[in-house]
């Protein structure tokens, strides 16, 4: 097996943890006889919510060496594990910042990372927490933003989330627009129990992804993070970063409904997206307004595309709108008659699986997932 290049302590573990026989996340493995180092590693595991397995050398039998999602090898134990089978997810942990020989020992044991304490503690806590939560492929994260007011961005965001959940993806819908009236209302769940944005506005650092998911209202087989009816109208960038990072670690799909006003919190949300969709009515004034929105969004988000909503003004079609905005075209957002009369139906956008909006959203997800797998 060809060994992957070693990375610094600021790099991320980019592979999925090895599966256990039960399909559940396994325990991290610590290999060391250094009592002081072991105390530090146990402390960091406790901070990450993980209970490790500890051995002075390669475990016999070697099952835990091969199956552990993360192996932390103390520098004192490098010689003892030299003959073990090569595998991913091995971190060589030391203390001597001036010891150049640590890199040679890391090569000898096939380590992916070299980490020095105490400088690398936060990085290591995050990696241990990842394996404790069973982190694999991050969620495909899509943001939706209106080219002008009333463009239908919230409707499309809800429809994308409802469609993803119906297709069996673990789905989280994030309402990042404090002035939008609340996506829980649009989904008919304003009275559903669960936490809203004010509970997370003071978040810093790392949030547990499982705890986040379980704390939110569950509507139409998806989780929703929306607003309450209080006065909290701003999400600090640190809180937005913590929430979306936790949401992405759970895998599946994350849909973010974005406001047209780009503040620091919204800029942080844009930085977490895989793709953005700008919803633009096919009117000249809407296109002019959308150009300003697109200009601001593209300062942060590289992959921005346009979805066009009719009816069309004379001389415009979806391709012409995309050309005027110089953006890739997602397609034409279909109109569902039931959504034009919301008082007559309690179904959320995209709930009718054979309806035109649901079919449009399904095609969006199919293309996005194919692109993500090919990347």
DSSP letters, 242-258, are HHHHHHHHT-SEEEEEE
If one compares 7 and 201, the residue with the highest pLDDT of the two is: 201
Segment among 53-57, 158-162, 177-181, 333-337 with least mean pLDDT? 333-337
| Model pLDDT, residue 345 | 53
| Model pLDDT, residue 2 | 29
Residues 6+ apart with CB under 8 A from 83: 58
| Model pLDDT, residue 231 | 74
Question: Above 50 in pLDDT, residue 310?
Answer: yes
Distance between CA atoms of 256 and 274, rounded to whole angstroms?
A: 11
Predicted confidence band of residue 324 (pLDDT cuts 50, 70, 90): very high
| Model pLDDT, residue 330 | 96
In the block, tokens 């593209």 appear at 298
If one compares 7 and 140, the residue with the highest pLDDT of the two is: 140
DSSP letter, residue 6: P
Distance between CA atoms of 166 and 175, rounded to whole angstroms?
A: 19
Predicted confidence band of residue 207 (pLDDT cuts 50, 70, 90): confident
Segment among 135-139, 238-242, 352-356 with least mean pLDDT? 135-139
Question: Above 90 in pLDDT, residue 211?
Answer: no
Give the chain's radius of gyration (CA, Å): 24
Question: Above 50 in pLDDT, residue 361?
Answer: yes
- 4, 109 Cβ separation under 8 angstroms: no
The secondary structure of the chain in percent helix, strand, coil, rounded to multiples of 5, reads 35, 15, 45
In the block, tokens 């409802």 appear at 162
In the block, tokens 């035109």 appear at 356
Strand ranges across the sheet with 222-225: 218-219, 222-225, 171-175, 253-258, 140-146, 275-281, 304-309, 329-333
In the block, tokens 């509507």 appear at 219
Distance between CA atoms of 208 and 200, rounded to whole angstroms?
A: 12
Distance between CA atoms of 274 and 157, rounded to whole angstroms?
A: 15
Residues 169-176: what's their mean pLDDT? 96
| Model pLDDT, residue 346 | 67
Question: Above 60 in pLDDT, residue 67?
Answer: yes
Predicted confidence band of residue 160 (pLDDT cuts 50, 70, 90): very high
Neighbours of 335 (CB within 10 A): 14
- 50, 128 Cβ separation under 8 angstroms: yes
| Percent of the chain's residues with pLDDT above 70 | 89
**Looking at the DSSP assignment, which residues form a beta bridge with residue 171?**
253
| Model pLDDT, residue 126 | 82
Distance between CA atoms of 360 and 307, rounded to whole angstroms?
A: 11
Residues 137-152: what's their mean pLDDT? 93
Question: Above 50 in pLDDT, residue 143?
Answer: yes
Mean pLDDT, the chain, whole residue set: 87
| Model pLDDT, residue 26 | 74
| Model pLDDT, residue 135 | 64
| Percent of the chain's residues with pLDDT above 90 | 63
Distance between CA atoms of 39 and 371, rounded to whole angstroms?
A: 44
| Model pLDDT, residue 41 | 97
Question: Above 90 in pLDDT, residue 141?
Answer: yes
Question: Above 80 in pLDDT, residue 61?
Answer: no
Distance between CA atoms of 250 and 172, rounded to whole angstroms?
A: 9
Residues 58-65: what's their mean pLDDT? 78
Q: Where are any strands of DSSP class E within 127-187?
A: 140-146, 171-175
Question: Above 90 in pLDDT, residue 15?
Answer: no
């Amino acid at each position: 097996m060809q060994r992957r290049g070693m990375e610094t302590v600021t790099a991320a573990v980019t592979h999925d943890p090895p599966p256990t026989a039960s399909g559940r996340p396994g325990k991290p493995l610590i290999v060391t006889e250094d009592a002081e180092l072991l105390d530090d590693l146990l402390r960091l595991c406790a901070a990450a919510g993980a209970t490790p397995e500890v051995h002075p050398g390669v475990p016999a039998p070697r099952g835990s060496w091969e199956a552990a999602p993360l192996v932390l090898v103390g520098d004192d134990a490098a010689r003892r594990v030299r003959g073990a089978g090569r595998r991913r997810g091995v971190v060589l942990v030391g203390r001597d910042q001036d010891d150049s020989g640590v890199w040679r020992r890391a090569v000898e044991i096939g380590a992916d990372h070299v980490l020095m304490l105490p400088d690398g503690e936060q990085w290591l806590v995050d990696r241990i927490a990842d394996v404790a939560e069973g982190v694999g492929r991050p969620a495909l994260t899509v943001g939706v933003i209106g080219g002008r007011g009333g463009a239908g961005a919230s409707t499309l965001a809800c429809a994308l989330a409802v469609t993803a959940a119906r297709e069996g993806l673990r789905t989280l819908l994030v309402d990042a627009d404090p002035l939008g009236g609340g996506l829980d209302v649009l989904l008919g769940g304003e009275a559903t129990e669960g936490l809203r944005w004010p509970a997370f506005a003071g978040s810093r650092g790392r949030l547990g992804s499982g705890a986040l998911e379980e704390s939110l209202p569950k509507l139409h087989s998806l989780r929703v993070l929306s607003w309450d009816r209080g006065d909290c109208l701003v999400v600090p960038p640190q809180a937005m970063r913590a929430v979306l990072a936790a949401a992405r670690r759970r895998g599946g799909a994350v849909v973010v409904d974005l406001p047209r006003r780009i503040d620091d919190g919204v800029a942080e949300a844009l930085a977490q997206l895989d793709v953005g969709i700008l919803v633009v009515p096919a009117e000249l004034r809407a296109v002019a307004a959308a150009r300003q929105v697109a200009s601001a969004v593209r300062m942060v988000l590289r992959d921005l595309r346009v979805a066009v909503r009719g009816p069309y003004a004379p001389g415009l079609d979806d391709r012409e709108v995309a050309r005027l905005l110089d953006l890739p075209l997602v397609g034409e957002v279909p109109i569902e008659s039931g959504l034009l009369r919301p008082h007559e139906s309690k179904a959320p956008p995209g709930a009718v699986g054979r309806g035109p909006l649901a079919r449009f959203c399904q095609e969006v997800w199919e293309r996005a997932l194919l692109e993500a797998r090919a990347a």
